[in-house]
Amino acid sequence: MLENARLLVTGGCGFIGSNFILHLLERYPGCQVVNLDKLTYASNPANLRDVEGDTRYRFVRGDICDATLVDQLMAEVDVVFNFAAETHVDRSLMEAGSFILTDVLGTHVLLEAARRHPNVRRFVQVSTDEVYGEMPPGVYARETDPLHPRSPYAASKAGGDAQCIAFFETYGLPVIITRAANNIGP
């Protein structure tokens, strides 16, 4: 599915997104990647320095809340991976509004654009296990478990996820939601 795909990766200068882009370009030589990133506190463009000259890679500085820009980019791609997010629970306690803008409104802008473009054949929402709330030791969440967000960050991600489910149910948009635990690495 990804070998000759044209991909939009949002938040591609973040830790997970940048490693994902590097993996895509190494594993799928026929793919083309557009990286849309606002370059916030969570971004590190240096992670992608090795692919800056790669003709299969293009960086676009912009916000997923910019409907005009998102619509233009969506016309060029087949698959969307939404890594863009305001992150960190502690930050959400101080300024929840920016989390709602990016994680809820921004996700909505992406979904609307994907829905309008029939060339988009998959939308992957990269979420967090924080949407399930606190789990007892040794107990792991299942995708069918109810959501119990316990912070503005978790609530904003749950809001984006709920929209993804609604767009799948209402419009048949082919959506996948991933909910990973905390990630660490170089």
Phi, psi (deg, nearest 5) at residue 52: -55, -35
129 is catalytic: yes
26 is catalytic: no
Report the C-alpha gap between 122 and 177 in whole angstroms.
11
Candidates 86, 130, 132, 161; catalytic one: 130
Candidates 66, 71, 76, 129; catalytic one: 129
Q: Which of 70, 13, 76 is nearest to 40 (CA)?
A: 13
Which amino acid, residue 142?
Answer: R
Which amino acid, residue 42?
Answer: A
Q: Which of 83, 82, 86, 69 is nearest to 111 (CA)?
A: 82
Candidates 57, 103, 132, 153; catalytic one: 153
**Contact predicate 83/9, CB 8 Å:** yes
Report the C-alpha gap between 150 and 120 in whole angstroms.
33
Active site members: 129-130, 153
